[in-house]
Amino acid sequence: MKVNGIPTRTIRPLADALAVEIIDQTALPHDYRWLRLASLRDAAHAICSMQVRGAPLIGVSAAYGVALAMVQGDDDATLLAACETLAATRPTAVNLRWALTRMRKRLLPLARSARVDAAWQEAASIADEDVEQCRQIGCHGLRLLRSATSTRRPLQIMTHCNAGWLATVDHGTALAPVYAAFDEGIDVHVWVSETRPRNQGLLTAWELAQHGVPHTLIADNAAGLLLRRGDIDAVIVGADRIAANGDVANKIGTYLKALAARASGVPFYVAAPRSTIDFACPSGETIPIEERAADELRVVHGRDRAGQRGQLRQLAADEAVVNPAFDVTPASLVSTLISERGCCPASDQGLRRLYGEELHA
């Protein structure tokens, strides 16, 4: 995707192989700035604090975190401790564990002297594969969008959170079909829900604006009205973990959109790559739901009239708050899953049809 007209990925290793750079997503949409991560600690902090976020990007960042740890020490204990530290940063997006398992399997059998180079190469492969998979999700999703298209123009898409370019290395998951449609000349408009409390919808609005895609921000609570009165042709969201039966964990509020979409007869699509599917997890009930700090609800961040970044406390520090970061949408509410391999029903059979040969290998 382009930022200020320049093709850009969300994460990039530096030429000296001693650090990576990321876009600091906590500074967006006000400031576009790059942050240097030079240690395992930096990488773990970036994931925990959501300087990098979005399931696929968390996985890639963790892989680079392992590479950074290997620069600091290439022994088994360092490798295993790095994987443990990174795995503990965020619990719901399975892409994180998927990437760490892959790094560990690749590096552990190697001689210590070969590990640093191999770690950088493996992390780069994971990043490249993510780009290609998201591109393919875009192609498969585009076919769905063409068929979901009513005669009305523009095509009205609703999304939730940020499952775009910023949440991956490039293209995005839920937004990849939208970008593909826009680039093909389809007249498309995106309804972007704010996604309290972290407001990832603001990131979606920012990246859609960078690409020139028409969009409108709504409060989360407006989604039901828009769906009910027939303003939306399709809802597309991403996922942080898809269980073997097709249940989908995604950003808190996704479930409400799925319910409203079903009640309004609007298709509800979920787009995600292989690294988001957890075949070891039988159903959504066993997906761990991240509980985040209460202050994410009590304190809002932004800019004041003078343009200075700042915080505003809207609730007293002792106000009781619960802040689950994800919810689970049952497979029965998902119209279709879109992956890099194609589209399938959100079900055990559907997923096995796409990935069966890998499961039996």
Contacts with ligand MRU, residue ranges (CB under 6 A): 53-56, 93, 161, 163, 167-168, 172-173, 200, 238-240, 250-251, 325
Minimum CB–partner distance for residue 29 and ligand MRU (Å):
14
Q: What does the alpha-carbon distance between residue 149 and residue 234 come to, in Å, rounded to a whole number?
A: 9
Sign of CA dihedral 129, 130, 131, 134: positive
First vs last Cα of the chain: how many Å apart?
Answer: 35
Minimum CB–partner distance for residue 237 and ligand MRU (Å):
6
List 233, 240, 278, 327, catalytic entry = 240
DSSP characters over 26-59:
TTTTT---EEEE-SHHHHHHHHHTTSS-SHHHHH
Which pairing describes strands 268-271 and 336-339: parallel, antiparallel, or unpaired? Answer: parallel
Minimum CB–partner distance for residue 186 and ligand MRU (Å):
21
Between 100 and 325, CB nearer to ligand MRU = 325
CA angle 356, 271, 296 (to 5 degrees): 125
Between 90 and 115, CB nearer to ligand MRU = 90
Q: What does the alpha-carbon distance between residue 196 and residue 253 come to, in Å, rounded to a whole number?
A: 9
Q: What does the alpha-carbon distance between residue 79 and residue 128 come to, in Å, rounded to a whole number?
A: 23
Minimum CB–partner distance for residue 340 and ligand MRU (Å):
13
Between 173 and 335, CB nearer to ligand MRU = 173
Minimum CB–partner distance for residue 257 and ligand MRU (Å):
11
- Which pair of structure tokens corresponds to residue 149? 């298209």
Between 78 and 254, CB nearer to ligand MRU = 254
Between 73 and 295, CB nearer to ligand MRU = 295
Between 82 and 239, CB nearer to ligand MRU = 239
Q: What does the alpha-carbon distance between residue 326 and residue 80 come to, in Å, rounded to a whole number?
A: 28
Q: What does the alpha-carbon distance between residue 345 and residue 332 come to, in Å, rounded to a whole number?
A: 9
Between 54 and 330, CB nearer to ligand MRU = 54
CA angle 170, 175, 178 (to 5 degrees): 115
Q: What does the alpha-carbon distance between residue 139 and residue 134 come to, in Å, rounded to a whole number?
A: 9
Q: What does the alpha-carbon distance between residue 343 and residue 345 come to, in Å, rounded to a whole number?
A: 7
Minimum CB–partner distance for residue 51 and ligand MRU (Å):
11
Q: What does the alpha-carbon distance between residue 222 and residue 253 come to, in Å, rounded to a whole number?
A: 12
Q: Are 7 and 131 in contact (CB under 8 A)?
A: no
- Which pair of structure tokens corresponds to residue 161? 């959170």
Q: Which residue is nearest to ligand MRU (CB)?
A: 238
Minimum CB–partner distance for residue 50 and ligand MRU (Å):
6
- Which pair of structure tokens corresponds to residue 122? 């493996």
- Which pair of structure tokens corresponds to residue 271? 């787009």
Q: Give yes or no: 304 in active site.
A: no
The residues facing 268 across adjacent strands are 235
Supply the residues annotated as catalytic: 240
